[in-house]
C-alpha cells in the first residue's frame, strides 16, 4: 500500500498535470470500488475547475473552484495514470507502484481534460473516490484521524498524554491512524530502528527521550523519503521516468537475517509478525 511519501509523490505529479484545469467529462467503467460510486458522481465532477490538489495522510484531495472536493484513496493496488493526447508517453504511472505503463485491465474511472486523460486503475478495488460537497463535510471525514507527523500538534505533550496507561506496543500505535496519520509499515520499522526502540515495547513504558526520538525521526525519515521520490518496492518508473530511491536507504525494512547497519552493533535483523504485518528490527540495539 502506498504510504504518505508515495501518495505525496502522486499529489505532486497531479498538481503539475491537472491543477488549474477543467474536467470536461468523467467516465465510470466500474462503480464497485471499496465504496460503490454514487450515481451522481460523474455529473458532480463534470465541468469542475480544479483550483488546487492537496494531501492529508494517505488521501489525495482535489479542490474545486466551487468549494467542493473529490477525495481519492489508492487502497492496496490503486494507481493513477496520465495519458497525453498529443504525446506518446509509455510511462504513465504517477506513482512507483505496479506497472509503469497503463494496464489493459481494471481501468475503472477516466477523467477527460482538453489535452490529457487521467485513468484510475485498481486490480483489487480497495481504493475509492468520494465527492464531498463542502469544507464542513471534508472536515468530518477526517475528524477521527490523528495529526500528521509534520503537524505541530505531533509533539511531546501529545504523545505523553496519548500513551498514558496504554499497553499496546509502539509499532501498533505508529500504524494507528487515530494516533498519527500517514505512517505505514515500512516507515514505522525505519522510525523505530532510527530511534533504537524495540517495536514490542508497550507505549506507556516509553521515556520522554524516546518519545522525542520518535517525533524527530518520524519527520526526518518521511521528509527524506519524499525528497528521494518515495520507495519503489518493485523497480518501476513514474510519468517522468524517475524511480523512488528511498528503498536504497532502508536501514532495517526487508533486511531479515542481514547484519545490523550500525557500525558499533554486532546484531542481525529479525523479522516478526505483529498484527499480520511484518516487523523488522535489531534485538541488540533496539532495546
pTM over 0.85: yes
- Domains, the chain, ordered by start: 4-141 (3.20.190.10), 156-282 (1.10.8.50)
Task: Mark whether 213 is an active-site residue.
Answer: no
Residue from 58, 171, 213, 255 carrying the catalytic annotation: 58
Task: Mark whether 277 is an active-site residue.
Answer: yes
Task: Mark whether 2 is an active-site residue.
Answer: yes
Residue-by-residue DSSP string for 148-210: PTTSTTSSHHHHHHHTTT--SBHHHHHT-TTTSSS--HHHHHHHHHHTT--TTSBGGG--HHH
Task: Mark whether 44 is an active-site residue.
Answer: no
In tens digits, the chain (287 residues) has pLDDT values of 678 888 988 998 899 899 999 999 999 999 999 999 999 999 999 999 999 999 999 999 999 999 999 999 999 889 999 998 866 667 788 876 667 788 889 999 999 999 999 999 999 999 999 999 999 999 999 999 999 999 999 999 999 999 999 999 999 999 999 999 999 999 999 999 999 999 999 999 999 999 999 999 999 999 988 887 644 433 334 445 555 455 567 899 999 999 999 999 999 999 999 989 999 999 999 98
Residue from 46, 212, 237, 277 carrying the catalytic annotation: 277
Amino acid at each position: 500500500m502506498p504510504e504518505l511519501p508515495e501518495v505525496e509523490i502522486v499529489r505532486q505529479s497531479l498538481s503539475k498535470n491537472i491543477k488549474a484545469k477543467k474536467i470536461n467529462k468523467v467516465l465510470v467503467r466500474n462503480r464497485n470500488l471499496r465504496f460503490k460510486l454514487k450515481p451522481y458522481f460523474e455529473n458532480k465532477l463534470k465541468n469542475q475547475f480544479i483550483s488546487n490538489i492537496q494531501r492529508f495522510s494517505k488521501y489525495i484531495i482535489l479542490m474545486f473552484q466551487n468549494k467542493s472536493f473529490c477525495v481519492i484513496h489508492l487502497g492496496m493496488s490503486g494507481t493513477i495514470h496520465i495519458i497525453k493526447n498529443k504525446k506518446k508517453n509509455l510511462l504513465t504511472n504517477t506513482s512507483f507502484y505496479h506497472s509503469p505503463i497503463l494496464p489493459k485491465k481494471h481501468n475503472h474511472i477516466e477523467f477527460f481534460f482538453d489535452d490529457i486523460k487521467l485513468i484510475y486503475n485498481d486490480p483489487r478495488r480497495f481504493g475509492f473516490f468520494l465527492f464531498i460537497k463542502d469544507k464542513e463535510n471534508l472536515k468530518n471525514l477526517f475528524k477521527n484521524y490523528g495529526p500528521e507527523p509534520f503537524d505541530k500538534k505531533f509533539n511531546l505533550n501529545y504523545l505523553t498524554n496519548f500513551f498514558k496507561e496504554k499497553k499496546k506496543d509502539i509499532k501498533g500505535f505508529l500504524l494507528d491512524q487515530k494516533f498519527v496519520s500517514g505512517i505505514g509499515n515500512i516507515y514505522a520499522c525505519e522510525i523505530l530502528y532510527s530511534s533504537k526502540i524495540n517495536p514490542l515495547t508497550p507505549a506507556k513504558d516509553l521515556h520522554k527521550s524516546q518519545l522525542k526520538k520518535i517525533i524527530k525521526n518520524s519527520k526526518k525519515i518521511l521528509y527524506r523519503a519524499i525528497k528521494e521520490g518515495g520507495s519503489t518496492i518493485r523497480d518501476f518508473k513514474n510519468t517522468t521516468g524517475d524511480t523512488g530511491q528511498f528503498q536504497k536507504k532502508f536501514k532495517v525494512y526487508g533486511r531479515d537475517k542481514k547484519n545490523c547497519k550500525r557500525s558499533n552493533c554486532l546484531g542481525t535483523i529479525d523479522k516478526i509478525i505483529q498484527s499480520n504485518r511484518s516487523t523488522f528490527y535489531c534485538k541488540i540495539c533496539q532495546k
